[in-house]
Chain A
Amino acid sequence: MQNSKFLSAIFAAGVTFVLACLMLGVKLNTEGTTLQVEGASTEQWTWIGLGIAVVFLSQLFSAQIDAFFSGLPKPQLAKVLPEASVMARLKPWLLAALIVGMLVWPFMVSRGSVDLATLTLIYIMLGLGLNIVVGLAGLLDLGFVAFYAVGAYTYALLSMYFGLSFWICLPLAAALAALFGFILGFPVLRLRGDYLAIVTLGFGEIIRILLNNWTAVTGGPNGISGIAKPTLFGLEFTRRAKEEGAMTFHEFFGISYSSSYKVIFLYLIAVVLVIFVIYLINRLMRMPIGRAWEALREDEIACRSLGLNRTAIKLSAFTIGASTAGFAGSFFAARQGFISPESFIFIESAIILAIVVLGGMGSQIGVILAAIVMTILPELAREFSEYRMLLFGLLMVIMMRWRPEGLVPMKRPHLELKQ
């Protein structure tokens, strides 16, 4: 036992050494037309040596370190929160306070924070959508960004070619994304696990490549710019109305123009959309179809033995998840004013999936928290933006060690023993 520990520690240190040597130890410099290999400075070598020592020791004493960490008390959410009966009474008030807070908050902070909050809300929407597919129905979807793209391009194209307004396009985008989910779902849902993941991954790429190459319609890599912003009952948020005779927001209310109104307005739309999505999904989860999703994830054979049609159930999860992404997509296009296939690369799917896994599969509160963490942390750590992916990996490793069930795991009803 001790021996194998030692060996694995040496192995890990060796791997670190090789990686560090390749990535940090040697540098390539161009001198004229030739490349020159240059070694790292003594100081860097000291750091590399230290790093290797840390890896070696942490591997050697991993059992002790684990014991130390498991000895640390885990945050007990149940102890912080008041008792269930009190909680049930407080809940509507807390919710109301939260919503009021969210509505009032943007008027008191900077434009940048509001913008960031809007982005977070988009990811919350996406996370909630994928949560149905992955968290509840247990279908691993690696191409979720495709539906997001469908939603965004639906609004962008309809607005560009037909001049349709955001509010008309919003349901259309959701419907079209749902249709795509449905079409993809049919052939794909006889697959399971890894195979399903691969096909959905491919689908995500197909959509992106299609958008990239169908230059005549989508503008290809140049994307679509100048997408119309949402209006409030026809009132625009620009300094001057685009059309003759139309009113802008500040003219109508007789206040001076400020560009932050537009940001706040977008934020408020996002809040409303998120609340709508949460409400809808909550209702669905309480309906038999929600139970059926979970049942299907737990045991497919049992589901079939009870006469549940697995295709219909999977398809419904896929479709509803996709429509949520379409929702988020069309809002994203409206907020950004510019979209290109660049916005819908695989890493977006990965981030959304990370949000769902990080939050705790199936748990709505968890997904919301994780979306906040995943969008705000990179902003806070802007100085470390070079190491963003590294931090991302570190976060995942820590989560797997410390809380593999997610931030706020899905709560199942359970019986409490009274003592």
Chain B
Amino acid sequence: MLSIKNINTHYGPIQALHDVSVEVKQGEIVTLIGANGAGKTTLMMSICGDPQATSGTIQFDGEEITGQQTSSIMQKGLAIVPEGRRVFSGMTVEENLFMGAYHRDRREAEMTAEHVLALFPRLRERYSQRAGTMSGGEQQMLAIGRAMMSKPRMILLDEPSLGLAPIIIQQIFDIIEKLREEGVTIFLVEQNANQALRIADRGYVLENGRVIMEDTGAALLVNEDVRKAYLGG
């Protein structure tokens, strides 16, 4: 569904990604793990076209999206939950959700909203509350819900567990699995390698801008090197 082939990305003269290739098939959960500064978020952003990859190709559903504008890439059935949630704090949950459906018909969007609220009952309780006044976990749910409002076929999640309590992290991961059951393909970037690999079909390990390992989630979970480097021995 998403196929990234040999992309290189630069920030000015600094090269952040070296020949990275990642393949995500329909219906999969694929996770990308790596330490701080390995280039995980850069890879995410490159998919979205900001910064654009300097070489290599990115295809989504067989369509070349390298070099396209971010706004048009994000309207192709791809959605991203950006790092650090980034909900509109001054707006209510309702307004936040409908911002996610900006390009869709209001009536259709309302149906999707109903679906999202069924998935996140917590958001229904807070429907007309300002997003900035909610807890981190609730904001993360809102960010995911907002991304779902465009009815994407694939969601990119950038560190959804960042700064959340363990019990909330568990809930978020449950939701990610639920999303997959609904047929949404998921590409997950995580520092929380243990949990991410547990739900992932396949995983990639990124180090210093290079993919150094690629295997099934279960295999990476027991891999000696991965255990040492990312799972705490």
In the complex the two chains form, what is the Cα distance from A299 to B84 in whole Å?
12
Q: Quick check: is A71 within 8 A (CB to CB) of the other chain?
A: no
Beta-carbon contact of A302 and B71 below 8 Å: no
Beta-carbon contact of B128 and A294 below 8 Å: no
In the complex the two chains form, what is the Cα distance from A305 to B100 in whole Å?
9
Q: Quick check: is B3 within 8 A (CB to CB) of the other chain?
A: no
CB distance from A418 to the nearest CB of B (A): 13
Beta-carbon contact of B129 and A307 below 8 Å: no
Beta-carbon contact of A307 and B103 below 8 Å: yes
| Residue ID in chain B nearest A300 by CB atoms | B86
| Residue ID in chain B nearest A292 by CB atoms | B102
Beta-carbon contact of B91 and A302 below 8 Å: no
Q: Number of B residues whose C-beta is below 8 Å from A?
A: 33
**Main SS of chain A's interface residues?**
helix
Beta-carbon contact of B95 and A291 below 8 Å: yes
- Contact A306/B99 with A294-B91, A412-B91, A415-B128 known, Cβ cut-off 8 Å: yes
CB distance from A114 to the nearest CB of B (A): 39
Q: Quick check: is B98 within 8 A (CB to CB) of the other chain?
A: yes
Q: Quick check: is A379 within 8 A (CB to CB) of the other chain?
A: no
Q: Quick check: is A413 within 8 A (CB to CB) of the other chain?
A: yes
Task: Please name all residues of chain A whose beta carbon is closer than 8 Å to the beta carbon of B74 when the two chains form the complex.
Answer: 304-307
**Candidates A288, A302, A304, A309; contact of B88 at CB < 8 Å:** A302
Beta-carbon contact of B87 and A412 below 8 Å: no
**Candidates A298, A301, A307, A308; contact of B91 at CB < 8 Å:** A298
- Contact A414/B130 with A288-B102, A305-B80, A305-B82 known, Cβ cut-off 8 Å: yes
Task: Please name all residues of chain A whose beta carbon is closer than 8 Å to the beta carbon of B81 when the two chains form the complex.
Answer: 305
Beta-carbon contact of A305 and B75 below 8 Å: no
Most chain B beta-carbon contacts within 10 A, residue among A291, A298, A304, A305: A305
Task: Please name all residues of chain A whose beta carbon is closer than 8 Å to the beta carbon of B103 when the two chains form the complex.
Answer: 307
Beta-carbon contact of B88 and A413 below 8 Å: no
| Residue ID in chain A nearest B99 by CB atoms | A295
Q: Quick check: is A111 within 8 A (CB to CB) of the other chain?
A: no
Beta-carbon contact of A302 and B86 below 8 Å: yes
CB distance from B116 to the nearest CB of A (A): 14
In the complex the two chains form, what is the Cα distance from A384 to B50 in whole Å?
55
In the complex the two chains form, what is the Cα distance from A199 to B129 in whole Å?
38
Task: Please name all residues of chain A whose beta carbon is closer than 8 Å to the beta carbon of B87 when the two chains form the complex.
Answer: 299, 302
Task: Please name all residues of chain B whose beta carbon is closer than 8 Å to the beta carbon of A302 when the two chains form the complex.
Answer: 82, 86-88
Task: Please name all residues of chain A whose beta carbon is closer than 8 Å to the beta carbon of B100 when the two chains form the complex.
Answer: 306
Beta-carbon contact of A306 and B146 below 8 Å: yes
Task: Please name all residues of chain A whose beta carbon is closer than 8 Å to the beta carbon of B130 when the two chains form the complex.
Answer: 412, 414
Q: Quick check: is B89 within 8 A (CB to CB) of the other chain?
A: yes
Beta-carbon contact of A412 and B69 below 8 Å: no
CB distance from B79 to the nearest CB of A (A): 8
In the complex the two chains form, what is the Cα distance from A224 to B103 in whole Å?
47
Task: Please name all residues of chain B whose beta carbon is closer than 8 Å to the beta carbon of A403 when the two chains form the complex.
Answer: none
Task: Please name all residues of chain A whose beta carbon is closer than 8 Å to the beta carbon of B95 when the two chains form the complex.
Answer: 291, 413
Q: Quick check: is A310 within 8 A (CB to CB) of the other chain?
A: yes
| Residue ID in chain A nearest B132 by CB atoms | A298
Beta-carbon contact of B128 and A291 below 8 Å: no
Q: Quick check: is B92 within 8 A (CB to CB) of the other chain?
A: yes
In the complex the two chains form, what is the Cα distance from A303 to B71 in whole Å?
9
CB 8 Å contact bits of B64-96 with A (1 = contact, 0 = none): 000001111111000111100011111110010
Q: Quick check: is B150 within 8 A (CB to CB) of the other chain?
A: yes
In the complex the two chains form, what is the Cα distance from A307 to B150 in whole Å?
9
Beta-carbon contact of A301 and B90 below 8 Å: no
CB 8 Å contact bits of B90-115 with A (1 = contact, 0 = none): 11100100111011000000000000
Task: Please name all residues of chain A whose beta carbon is closer than 8 Å to the beta carbon of B43 when the two chains form the complex.
Answer: none
Beta-carbon contact of A306 and B102 below 8 Å: yes
CB 8 Å contact bits of A408-419 with B (1 = contact, 0 = none): 000011110000
In the complex the two chains form, what is the Cα distance from A414 to B90 in whole Å?
10
In the complex the two chains form, what is the Cα distance from A288 to B129 in whole Å?
19
In the complex the two chains form, what is the Cα distance from A5 to B80 in whole Å?
51
CB distance from A28 to the nearest CB of B (A): 54
Beta-carbon contact of B102 and A412 below 8 Å: no
| Residue ID in chain B nearest A309 by CB atoms | B71
**Candidates B70, B126, B146; contact of A304 at CB < 8 Å:** B70
Beta-carbon contact of B150 and A413 below 8 Å: no
CB neighbors of B among A340-389 (8 A): none
In the complex the two chains form, what is the Cα distance from A298 to B103 in whole Å?
19
In the complex the two chains form, what is the Cα distance from A298 to B128 in whole Å?
18
Task: Please name all residues of chain A whose beta carbon is closer than 8 Å to the beta carbon of B79 when the two chains form the complex.
Answer: 305-306
CB distance from A308 to the nearest CB of B (A): 6
Beta-carbon contact of A294 and B86 below 8 Å: no
Q: Quick check: is B189 within 8 A (CB to CB) of the other chain?
A: no
In the complex the two chains form, what is the Cα distance from A412 to B73 in whole Å?
31
Task: Please name all residues of chain A whose beta carbon is closer than 8 Å to the beta carbon of B102 when the two chains form the complex.
Answer: 288, 291-292, 306-308
CB distance from A413 to the nearest CB of B (A): 6
Could you give 6 example pairs across A and B, Cβ below 8 Å?
A291-B98, A301-B86, A304-B70, A305-B82, A307-B73, A307-B150
B residues whose Cβ falls under 8 Å from a Cβ of A: 48, 50, 69-75, 79-82, 86-92, 95, 98-100, 102-103, 126, 128-130, 146-147, 150
7 cross-chain pairs, A with B, having the tightest CB-CB distances, nearest first: A307-B74, A302-B86, A309-B71, A307-B75, A298-B88, A305-B80, A305-B82
